A and B are shown apart, each in its own frame.
Chain A
């Protein structure tokens, strides 16, 4: 792959385009490869709401902290520093809560089976990439009749979020999350493209995937002809992984979801189906409140929708730093503010 040729073509672009890369893993990849330094002035990349930890509400964190009083909580590492309204999971751990960081939730099933008298709680956060993994875990819990695991879900889906961003004119074009599309297929991008008439390119996470996607977006902007392209053909198909979709459908149903800083996005979340009430830790709480309190001056909401750059928030780099985050975008390793703070050479 001739990266220089792709960079060369991008740098011939004399216009302006604001491209939103929706997924936190894309934000991390753009930073990791140092790609911003290769782009011309007219091409700006902004991060979107595709960072699951960043869009988990303070209320969800508060509930997980409360649940940790009576159960060992298993979570992805990114979640431990996210601030609730009172504390984070890391702070709860310092006060004696059992918080276990996992790479994969399947070890939880084993541990729970070995310790039937102990209560376990899975903090099930993620997008369509991860929901099938939780469905697969539920297969095990049901099959092995493991009754001491409860699941607190804060699951969100991308199509409605990307739609919300496009409606807010957050960007002129979208680089779409390749691993989400591996599960869902890229078909939903065609509906979005028809509605919003802008480029939507599904991309993988290597540098050449992202550079090629930018090249294609520029080409579409220059020819004023917009469509969906799949630049991750090894993994993404139009219809996605139907086995995974069926597994998700067995255990979960679509629901409205509250995105931290953004508010309610209709039909953008998953909840456990009624049938699986015995695993559902959300039931005791009811719906997440759409009313949120933020640390005074926190502008995560605008960062998440590409409205401002992280360094345009007044708290950035001062009161809000990775070691003392005031909002989720700084607390999460894939958060736009955390990545921006750790630096990009311009």
Chain B
């Protein structure tokens, strides 16, 4: 029940409370009052609501995880 998906913000209402998000061709309305995001940003969407901002792309995240693994493998 923690099914949530990073999605791109494509539109945001004037009051910032709602917007539209898109992922791989599907788009729908989401609540945005819990995040500060603008069109082009990525947010984590759960049950129709953006609950977190996405700070890095998947590629950057993979790089960070690998780096973390390498660093920790080399720790004394």
Residues of B within 8 A of A105 (CB): 47-48
Total interface residues on A, CB under 8 Å, equals: 53
CA–CA, A32 and B57, complex, Å: 23
Give the nearest-CB partner of A247 in chain B: B34
CB of A25 within 8 A of CB of B34, answer no
- Answer yes or no: A112 CB below 8 A from chain B CBs: no
Residues of A within 8 A of B58 (CB): 234
> Is chain B's interface secondary structure helix, strand, loop, or mixed overall?
mixed
Minimum CB–CB distance for B2 against chain A, Å: 4
Residues of B within 8 A of A334 (CB): 1
Contact flag A219-B72 (CB < 8 Å), given A104-B47, A136-B31: yes
CA–CA, A136 and B33, complex, Å: 7
- Answer yes or no: A243 CB below 8 A from chain B CBs: yes
- A 271-298 binary contact with B (CB < 8 Å = 1; else 0): 0000000000000000000000000000
CB of B46 within 8 A of CB of A130, answer yes
Give the nearest-CB partner of B30 in chain A: A104
- Which one of B1, B6, B33 contacts A234 once the chains associate, using CB atoms below 8 Å? B6
Total interface residues on B, CB under 8 Å, equals: 34
Q: Give chain A interface residues in 93-131, CB to chain B under 8 Å.
A: 102-106, 125-127, 129-130
Residues of A within 8 A of B54 (CB): 234-235
CA–CA, A129 and B56, complex, Å: 20
CB of A76 within 8 A of CB of B1, answer yes
- Answer yes or no: A52 CB below 8 A from chain B CBs: yes
CB of A234 within 8 A of CB of B55, answer yes
Listed A/B pairs (9) with beta-carbon separation below 8 Å: A25-B3, A183-B51, A183-B52, A219-B69, A225-B75, A229-B68, A233-B61, A234-B6, A241-B34
Residues of B whose CB lies within 8 Å of any CB of A are: 1-4, 6, 31, 33-36, 44, 46-49, 51-58, 60-62, 64-66, 68-69, 72-73, 75
Given contacts A208-B62, A241-B35, could you give 15 more A-B pairs where the C-beta distance is less than 8 Å? A106-B48, A126-B1, A129-B46, A129-B51, A132-B49, A133-B47, A139-B33, A179-B4, A219-B69, A223-B75, A225-B75, A229-B72, A233-B56, A235-B44, A235-B55
